[in-house]
Amino acid sequence: MTENLMADYTSEALFIGSLFKNPILFVDYAELMKSKYDFEDEAMKFMYDSFEMYYTTFSQEISETKVQMFMSKEPERLKKFKSYGGWKTLEKQMDLADPGDIQNYFDSIKKYSLVREFGRKGFPIQKVVQHKAFPKMKAEDIVRSMRFNVDNINTVIGGGKSSVLLGKDLKAKIEEWKTSPDIGEEIPFPIWHSLFRGWRKGKLIVDGMMSGNGKSRRASKIAAYIGIKKSIPTLVLVNEQEKEEWDAMMASVIANNKEFGFWKSPGDEIDETDILLGQCTDEQYARLDEIAEWVKKKTKIYFLDLDKYSDADIEREVKKHVLGLGVKYMFYDTLKGYKTDNWESVKQTTTKLKDLCKELKIGGYATIQLTDDTVMTEELTSMNIANAKQLKHVVDHLVLEKKIDPSKFNKYKIKAVNGNGNWGEIELAHGKTYYMQKIDKNRGGSTGLELITEVDLGKNLWIERGYLIRS
């Protein structure tokens, strides 16, 4: 059988047409396609590679004008585009393609890709291709029919990976850690940063609090630090609050937390309620205007209020923003079942978030609600998580938080480093609000530790004070 018969040129063209017709489909197939092996038609390989670069660096919307502008950015690319028929070719493919059939196009492309790769490796693939059942076969069926010597097959059937010899490169890895320690992005809570070894790519942090205790507010501080101060592309997905609420949280958290540089001394704080009611002083408005201009220049936070938040909806939005906008960190507020309170549904969503973090090499952060009886609990455990006790097994870092009853301040002390760099014990100050945090799971280091944070929800103020110890 000649090489030109070992391809399905029609499916290749219709696959490309489907992508240009419905670009969001790219997020479902980006990790599975390897154009070098999957497209036998050089024109379609060029169109796919161009689409990939267009989607990830230029725009997520398709129009003739935009495509022409993109192609024109590189003379050689434009020359090739014209030689393959230009926009008219794409337009014809889009007219013929049915995006609802893209999985069938994909399956056929992968089948022929695998057939060609087996042929290049010297396998007796002709017998398989000539078999009467071949038209109905999928790539997986072909692999099963060969059953032997399938090493070094370079196409990707469905995201599968090859095993590696563990320890083979250990010496090189140790040398790498000497110069580039395995520490992630800085978290604006120093003890969290130390315990978790920073916010590492592929890791999922889950923070749990009772309803009304400020889950979103703590998240807003971390999001603002990563996505605004450091200008690292960050996605914030929410299913309970609206953009206006997050706008207000961002204004107050930046104004009142010293990490952002706009708070100078005690008394400088601005109440979030005053911002919302338009009751700030002239000096405060001047500072807020300065903050707004700074945010406008620095922000890399992409915010989306999810009306639908099924696992499929979440996956699509995360992939769209990672592939199209280069997002490196993702927040999800709040973890809960979609159209159900079944705990298994929440665990599945948590698993989906963790899988996305690992697959896309991004950092993930999610909030979850603790049960109402947590207020009566001295020792926080994952049993306090509403509807989803099993998610502890999925996440990398699990933090459980609760407000400390002022009547019980005398039971605790704060262990912290003083101005001389020495450890000391400090009394909890009456008139202030403190949250204890139990580090219930930590794939970065120690677990079971209890921390203490000073909190002022009205000002969105979060100050990590040290470790919590019993008197």
Which of 29-38, 114-123, 231-240, 355-364 is least confident?
114-123
225 and 119 inside one domain: no
130 and 233 inside one domain: no
141 and 195 inside one domain: no
Peptide bond into 447 cis (omega under 30): no
Determine the Cα–Cα distance for residues 275 and 185; give it in Å rounded to an integer. 31
334 and 432 inside one domain: yes
Residues facing 417 on adjacent strands: 423
For residue 277, what is the domain's CATH number?
3.40.50.300
Which of 33-47, 49-63, 157-171, 227-241 is least confident?
157-171
User: Higher-confidence residue: 127 or 456?
Assistant: 456
Question: What's the whole-number average pLDDT of the chain?
Answer: 88
pTM (predicted TM-score): 0.78
What does residue 339 show for φ and ψ, rounded to 5 degrees?
Answer: 65, 20
232 and 374 inside one domain: yes
Query: What are the pLDDT digits (tens) for 189-219?
Result: 999 999 999 999 999 999 999 989 999 999 9
Are 440 and 399 contacting, i.e. CB atoms less than 8 angstroms apart?
yes
CA geometry: angle at 397 spanning 392 and 400, to 5°?
70
What does residue 465 show for φ and ψ, rounded to 5 degrees?
Answer: -100, -25
User: Would you say residue 185 lies in a domain?
Assistant: no
Query: What are the pLDDT digits (tens) for 282-337?
Result: 999 999 999 999 999 999 999 999 988 889 899 999 998 998 889 999 999 988 87
Residue 1: is its pLDDT beyond 50?
no
Q: Which two tokens stand for residue 220?
A: 């807003």
User: Would you say residue 73 lies in a domain?
Assistant: yes
User: Higher-confidence residue: 446 or 159?
Assistant: 446
User: Would you say residue 155 lies in a domain?
Assistant: no
- How confident is the model over 404-431, as a mean pLDDT? 89
Query: What's the pLDDT score for residue 455?
Result: 97
- Three-state DSSP class for 33? coil
CB crowding 332-359: b at 16 or more within 10 Å, else e: bbbbbbbeeeebebbbbbbbbbbebbee
Distance of CA 156 to the CA centre of its chain: 23
Query: What's the pLDDT score for residue 145?
Result: 65
Which of 18-22, 75-79, 113-117 is least confident?
113-117
296 and 431 inside one domain: yes
What does residue 176 show for φ and ψ, rounded to 5 degrees?
Answer: -65, -40
Cβ-based neighbours of 459, under 8 Å, separated by 6 or more: 252, 256, 269, 270, 271, 272
Q: Which two tokens stand for residue 126?
A: 């002709």
Determine the Cα–Cα distance for residues 114 and 32; give it in Å rounded to an integer. 13
Residue 245: is its pLDDT beyond 90?
yes
User: Higher-confidence residue: 296 or 32?
Assistant: 296
The residue out of 146, 174, 202 marking a domain boundary is: 146
Determine the Cα–Cα distance for residues 364 and 345; give it in Å rounded to an integer. 19
101 and 38 inside one domain: yes
Alpha helices, DSSP H, located in 257-376: 272-277, 282-298, 311-325, 343-360
- How confident is the model over 82-86, as a mean pLDDT? 95
326 and 424 inside one domain: yes
For residue 49, what is the domain's CATH number?
1.10.860.10
CB crowding 87-111: b at 16 or more within 10 Å, else e: bebbbebbeebebeebeebbbbbbb
120 and 198 inside one domain: no
The residue out of 81, 114, 146 marking a domain boundary is: 146
359 and 215 inside one domain: yes
Determine the Cα–Cα distance for residues 443 and 237; give it in Å rounded to an integer. 24
Count the domains in the chain: 2
- Strand ranges across the sheet with 234-238: 301-305, 234-238, 329-333, 363-369, 204-209, 397-403, 434-442, 450-456, 461-470, 412-417, 423-427
Q: Could you tell me the residue range of the domain that residue 103 belongs to?
A: 3-146
275 and 361 inside one domain: yes
User: Would you say residue 175 lies in a domain?
Assistant: no
User: Would you say residue 265 lies in a domain?
Assistant: yes
User: Would you say residue 162 lies in a domain?
Assistant: no
Query: What are the pLDDT digits (tens) for 154-171?
Result: 566 655 556 778 888 888
Which of 56-70, 266-280, 339-353, 378-392 is least confident?
378-392
Q: What does DSSP say about strands 234-238 and 301-305: parallel, antiparallel, or unpaired?
A: parallel
User: Would you say residue 171 lies in a domain?
Assistant: no
212 and 294 inside one domain: yes
The residue out of 113, 146, 179 marking a domain boundary is: 146
